[in-house]
Amino acid sequence: MSTDETSRFVRLKVELVLEVADGEALTGAALQRIAEDEAMPAEERTHAEGAVQEDEAEAVAYLVDPFDLVGDVPGAELVQASWSSEQVDYDPDSPDWDLDEDDEQQDGGDERG
């Protein structure tokens, strides 16, 4: 395939597992981020504050921004992003947590880590 025939778009898939060592610090930082978001409507702010106080995964979702991952990549511009977070039971020794599993099934990927 020549350069003219290839897509200019790249889908970057990232999967992370975070351990919450200080839930109060995490929730406090998320509440601060919400409070500083001047564009957030009052009704949405109230909902967001409740969500991050009830669920640490929601707090993480308010603190992680995909733009932060790629904002400084030269020659690239973030076109679309979506992300979610959820609490999980994590066992690093379990084969269910083999992050390379998808890479073995697909060709053409490049994993950096």
> pLDDT averaged over the chain?
85
| Cut 0.85: pTM above it | no
Separation between Cα atoms, residue 34 and residue 1, nearest integer Å: 46
| Cβ-based neighbour number of residue 3 at 10 Å | 6
Question: Residue 6 to residues 9, 14, 42, 105: CA-CA distances in angstroms?
Answer: 9, 22, 44, 22
| Cβ-based neighbour number of residue 28 at 10 Å | 13
Confidence at 34, pLDDT banded by 50, 70, 90: very high
